[in-house]
Amino acid sequence: MGLFGWIFYIIMGIVIFFLMNYLDNRFSISKIDKIVLANIVVIIISEFLFKYSIRYTENIFLIFVFMLIFDIIYSTYVIDHDFFDKDNNNILFYVGLIISGFIINQEFINRVSSIFLTGEELRVVLWLLIIVYIYNFCNSKKLFEIKDKKDKKIMSTNSILNNYAKFKYAYYDECDNDNKDISNILYAIMIYEDNKRNKFLRRIDNFKYKINGKKSKLGIMQVESKKFISDSESIELVSKKIVKIYNSSKKKDINSVFDKYYGHNNEDVKYIFEIIKKF
Q: What is the pLDDT of residues 69-108, one digit of tens each?
A: 999 999 888 888 888 887 778 999 999 999 999 999 998 8
61-72 tens-digit pLDDT: 999 999 999 999
Whether residues 131 and 97 share a domain: the answer is no
Q: Please name the amino acid found at residue 134.
A: I
Contact status, residue 256 vs residue 144, Cβ threshold 8 Å: no
Tell me how far apart the alpha carbons of residues 166 and 112 are, in angstroms, rounded to a whole number: 51
Please give the share of the chain, as a percent, with pLDDT higher than 70.
Answer: 91
For the entire predicted model, the pTM comes to: 0.48
**Whats the size of the chain, residue-wise?**
279
Whether residues 174 and 85 share a domain: the answer is no
Per-residue pLDDT at 105: 93
Per-residue pLDDT at 14: 96
- Domain assignment of residue 68, given as a range: 2-114
| Residue 150 placed within a domain | no
Whether residues 225 and 269 share a domain: the answer is yes
Per-residue pLDDT at 148: 47
Per-residue pLDDT at 151: 46
Contact status, residue 183 vs residue 175, Cβ threshold 8 Å: yes
Whether residues 180 and 251 share a domain: the answer is yes
Domain count, the chain: 3
